[in-house]
Amino acid sequence: MKYLKAIGISVLAIVLLVASQLLADEISSGALQLGVPVWICDLACGILYPVFALLIAKYFMEKVLHQKLSDNGITSFRLELKWVVLAFLLPLAVMAIYLLIFPGEYVTSGVTNERVFETVIIGVFYTGIAAGIVEEMVFRGFIFHSLERAWNTKVALIVPSLLFGVIHIIGRDYSVGSCLLVILAGTAVGIMFSLIMMESGSIWCSAFVHAMWNIIIIGGVLTVSDAPDEFSLVTYVLKMKSFAITGGEFGIESSVIALAGYVIVSFVAILMLRKHGYKTDIKDCQETGDEG
């Protein structure tokens, strides 16, 4: 029974992600039709998306499953300096490697000042903060802890991470090679986020690392790619077209450079876990889950 419950919670968590996103998008689109400035609509969407997700999740967890959000890694907000520092170092190091080592040229999209402002708003608040919080809440929060209670930590570490990688190819018309690369990189970064969550004891540090990665790498201000990106203010167009370096059709997030970054940060997290232990009280979580 506990296995079916864990699977059910995992499916509902993904539904929660989609529903919250659609609801925020609908409200933002409605406001836009009423004449509200685009940047305000974009900002509202980025704020409403995680707010809706947290409110719906809180209601479902407490009223239906009789669990607390904290039982699923969603504690009161807190960050740790070491992960804040690594949150900046990881994407900046990856960017620096491309800009300093691999030849390319900068191509601007020639957008208006208004479009620049809108791009920054979307990149920071929606692509970055909102996506970082909600995806961590779903994958490293509900799914991880549900599987951990039903099976064990190893299953909870690997399965959601693999699912995280697979979801990134759904609806994409990618080649087989690109799909495999995205799944590999997505699983690796999922494991990295999970290890950060385990070491810090909540989703907030992994959400911050996730958000900063999204803002810097895919936020739309400066993009590294093998072709100009019309949605980015500036694109550093790589002259090298190697599949492993460019990351294939998905982009540099699935490249060997990014993959090396995920592995290094994961190794750091593992060393910290060995030194300080797993901060979440697994036994108490299991007892809470069994009672629910």
Supply the pLDDT for residue 113.
75
Structure tokens at 169: 């190819």
User: Higher confidence at residue 140 or residue 292?
Assistant: 140
| Residue 105 DSSP SS3 | strand
Q: 96: burial class by Cβ within 10 Å (0-12, 13-18, 19+)?
A: exposed
Supply the pLDDT for residue 280.
54
Q: What is the pTM of this model?
A: 0.93
Distance CA 152, CA 145 (A): 9
Task: Assess contact for 254 and 181: CB atoms under 8 A.
Answer: yes
Q: How many CB atoms lie within 10 A of CB 140?
A: 30
Supply the pLDDT for residue 236.
98
Supply the pLDDT for residue 279.
64
The band of 64, judged by pLDDT with boundaries at 50, 70 and 90, is confident
pLDDT in tens, 240-281: 999 999 999 999 999 999 999 999 999 999 999 998 877 654
Cα separation values, 26 from 18, 44, 49, Å: 12, 11, 11
Strands 234-238 and 104-108, by their bridges, are: antiparallel
The band of 126, judged by pLDDT with boundaries at 50, 70 and 90, is very high
Q: Has residue 292 got a pLDDT over 70?
A: no
Supply the pLDDT for residue 106.
97
The band of 283, judged by pLDDT with boundaries at 50, 70 and 90, is very low
pLDDT in tens, 134-154: 999 999 999 999 999 999 999
Q: Has residue 190 got a pLDDT over 60?
A: yes
The band of 74, judged by pLDDT with boundaries at 50, 70 and 90, is very high
